[in-house]
Amino acid sequence: MVTGPDGKPRCPWGLSAEDYVAYHDSEWGRPVHGDDALFERLCLEAFQSGLSWITILRRRESFRSAFDSFKIASVAEFTDADRERLLADPGIIRNRAKVDATLANARVLADWPAGELDTLIWSYAPDAAKRPAPRTAADVPPVTDESTALSKALKKAGIRFVGPTTAYALMQACGLVNDHLADCFVRDSVASAGTARG
C-alpha cells in the first residue's frame, strides 16, 4: 500500500500519477451498466492495448468527442469520411486497426437488443465470496478463467480486439471484480456498491 498526502492508503498505481488519483478513488472498480457506457469502456480498453492506461485516461475526453460519446447507434453510422477524420485526430490514438475495430464493433452491437451487451458482460462476473482480497499488486492476475470466457463470447459474437487481458481490464474497470488491495481505503466502498455479483 501507499499512503497519500491525505493520509489514506491506496493501491500503489493510484498514486503513481496525479491523473490516477481521482480515477482510482471514484471510478475504477465501481459498477458500470448500460450498453453505451460499457461500449465506451470496451473501446478504451482496446485502445489501451500495448500502452499505459494513463495515456488513454488523459485523452478520454478527446476520445468521447471524436466518437460522439461512444453512442453505439451513432458510431455504427460513421462513414469512411469519419474514419479518415479519426485517423487524422491528434487527440486520440490513431491506430488504424483499433479505429476499424471500434467502428466494426459498433455496427455489430447496433443490431443487438437493448441491454444485451450489459447482460452478456455482467454474466461473467465471478462470485465475490470466492475471490480473496489481493494483499499486494502481485496477487492481482492479468487474466482469469472468467476473462478468457468473456473474451471468447465477445469474439464469437463478432466483437474484435478483445483478448483475455483486455477483457480482464474491462472487468476490473467496470466493477465485475474488486481488485483494490485489501488495505486500500476505497475497497470497502466499492464492495458495498455491489461490485461483483455472485
Residues designated catalytic: 23, 45, 53
How is residue 26 written as a grid cell?
471514484
Cβ-based neighbour number of residue 91 at 10 Å: 12
Which residue shows C-alpha cell 478463467? 145
Within 12-79, where are the H helices?
Answer: 18-26, 35-48, 53-57, 60-66, 72-75
Say if CB 117 and CB 38 are below 8 A apart. Answer: yes
Beta strands 2-3 and 9-10, pairing class: antiparallel
